[in-house]
A and B are shown apart, each in its own frame.
Chain A
Amino acid sequence: MIDIRELRRDFGGIHALAGVDLRIEPGERRAVIGPNGAGKTTLFNVLTGELRPNGGSIRLDGAALTGLTTWQRARLGLVRMYQRNELFDPLSALENVLLSIGSLGGAYRPFRSPLPAERIEAEEVLARVGLADRRSVTARTLSHGERRQLELALALARQPVVLLLDEPTAGMSPAETERITALIAGLERRLTVLIVEHDMDVVFRLADRITVMHEGRAIAEGTPNEIRADRRVHDVYLGKAVEA
């Protein structure tokens, strides 16, 4: 589904991505872990097109993504949930989701009001993430956990094919973490999910396979059990030098 080869991205002298190879099957739940600075967020930014790579290629279901803008990739089904919430603060939760759904139909209908079908769909998405009774609340006034839920709703509303989740449980209480993890676990299997996470419990619960990144490279990949037993991964997290 996603085929990343030799992906490279530099910032001045820093090799944020130093040749990343990653292959994800359709429907797979892949977690990307690694210490801070490993390049995980850069990987996401390059995937969505917000950053241009300095080398390498990305293919989505066979189609090359090079040169496509962020919005073009979103239309192909590559949708992202942000680490720091990127919501439409003064709008209500429902209006936020409606905006996301609206992009499916194309924005150029100057006289088209949101169709009843879209409203129903928006309410469904809100219900799925557990915000059904908060639909009229302004995004700004929602609690942090609820904002994360809305953040996920915005991504889901777009009917993604590949979902990029950037630290979905960041800043959440245990109860909120549990809720969102259950949500993600319950997503339909035809969705391919790529998760960056620091919370290992969440990772081991959700992931089919795990990729470990370190200093811009993928140094290990395997099932959760394989990774748990992998010596190199232990070293990376304990700060010892590792051969890639």
Chain B
Amino acid sequence: MVIRAAMVLAVWLALVTFPQWSSAWESSRFAAGIIRQVLIFAIFASSLNLLVGYTGLPSLGHAAFFGGGAYAAAIAAQRLGTDQLFVSLGAGVIGAALLALLIGFLAVRALGIFFLMLTLALAQMVFAIAFQATDLTGGSNGFSGVHRPVLFGLDLGAASDLYVLVCAIALSVGLLLWRVTTSTYGRALVGVRENERRMRAIGYDTRTLKLSAFVLAGALAGVAGALSSYEFRFVSPNDVALGTSVTGFVMVLIGGGGTLIGPIVGAAVVLLIERVLPSQLPAQTVLGIVFIAFVVFARQGIVGAARRLARA
């Protein structure tokens, strides 16, 4: 256990200092940007994984909380006239959590496949609101001019500073999720996934368990959303669109649901396909085919398959 923690720490330290030790490489800045985005989406995918992989709730509307958190962060910074990190990030988390409470309240009442349909439909409504509330969100043009945050006196506007921020938050979220999934609460979520009926029979209030997981996942997606608003200095309805929800789902599945590293791997793979793949190859088509292949042949994702190979 200590060895694993040390390994994770070592990897993280290498990652955090990447811009420094790779500065001689001409693609260093580009790569650092990719890493930032991978980490942001890793947080998003990990939050979805808590729902899909651990609790067994297949949500196709998770972008509502990602984009919702992004909008909340940007709008709060603008309306309150401050770029302080804890204000915009806090607004992102709280906004996303409240939205998740609202949507989750209705959605967790739905069984199985209908949960999926509901989350999809309800998230689309958030999309439509983002699209239409032009005064608040900028409508179809999106919310531009989002400022990079300021941590008390420290301006985090430079790409390298943002890089460190993203790494730090990613580590914190990772630690949080690790703590949650290994706790009795996390075990209870797995229990709900495996046999909800039995969980109720042994005394668990499964509906509240599911709702709490939904809100927690939503809040963490909001963190990713806020970070995304800093990264791109822009929030658009696309951030709450079905496409983003699907992308998150694809990341979780390809990486490996129900594991901690799975979503990170998945985020890296998907972003590499989307951003680094030469522009001749249609990214969404490739993604779709890869996704189908995984569903059919490697349902447990890369991490799941790797673990099975390691055991054999």
Contacts and interface: CB of A to CB of B under 8 A. Distances in A.
A112 B198 contact: no
A69 B200 contact: yes
Contact of A89 (B185, B194, B200): B194
Interface in A97-122: 98-100, 102-105, 107-114
B18 interface: no
B204 A103 contact: yes
A242 to B, nearest CB: 33
Contacts of B206: 71
Contacts, number: 95
Given A108-B185, A113-B182, A103 B202 contact: yes
Contacts of B201: 48, 50, 70-71, 74, 79-80, 82, 86
Contacts of B182: 113
Nearest to B181: A110
A9 interface: no
Contact of A110 (B179, B195, B197, B205): B179
B179 A99 contact: no
B183 A109 contact: yes
A154 B183 contact: no
Interface residues of B, number: 26
Contact-residue bracket for chain A = 35 or more
B203 A105 contact: no
Interface in A37-84: 48, 50, 69-71, 74-75, 79-80, 82
A75 B203 contact: yes
A110 B194 contact: no
Interface string B280-304: 0000000000000000000000000
A74 B200 CA distance: 8
B191 interface: yes
B280 to A, nearest CB: 43
B193 to A, nearest CB: 9
A79 B278 CA distance: 60
Given A99-B188, A102-B184, A107-B209, A88 B198 contact: yes
Contacts of B184: 102, 105, 107, 109, 112-114
B173 interface: no
Contacts of A86: 195, 197-198, 201
B202 A110 contact: no
A111 B181 CA distance: 9
Contacts of B180: 110-111
Contacts of A95: 187
Contacts of B199: 71, 99, 103
A108 B190 CA distance: 14
B200 A70 contact: yes
Interface string B191-233: 1001101111111111001001000100000000000000000
Contacts of B216: 110
B202 A154 contact: yes
Contacts of A70: 200-201
Q: Which of B183, B203, B216 has most chain A Cβ within 10 Å? A: B203
Nearest to A155: B202
A102 B199 CA distance: 11
Interface string A2-46: 000000000000000000000000000000000000000000000
Contact of A90 (B183, B194, B200): B194
A191 to B, nearest CB: 16
B191 A88 contact: yes
A114 B188 CA distance: 11
A109 B194 CA distance: 20
A69 to B, nearest CB: 7
Given A82-B201, A112-B183, A113-B184, 16 more contacts: A50-B197, A70-B200, A70-B201, A71-B199, A74-B202, A74-B203, A86-B195, A88-B191, A99-B188, A102-B184, A108-B212, A110-B183, A111-B179, A113-B183, A114-B184, A158-B203
6 contacts: A86-B197, A86-B201, A100-B202, A107-B188, A113-B183, A154-B198
Per CB-CB distance, the 5 closest pairs between chain A and chain B, nearest first, are A74-B203, A103-B203, A86-B198, A107-B188, A88-B194
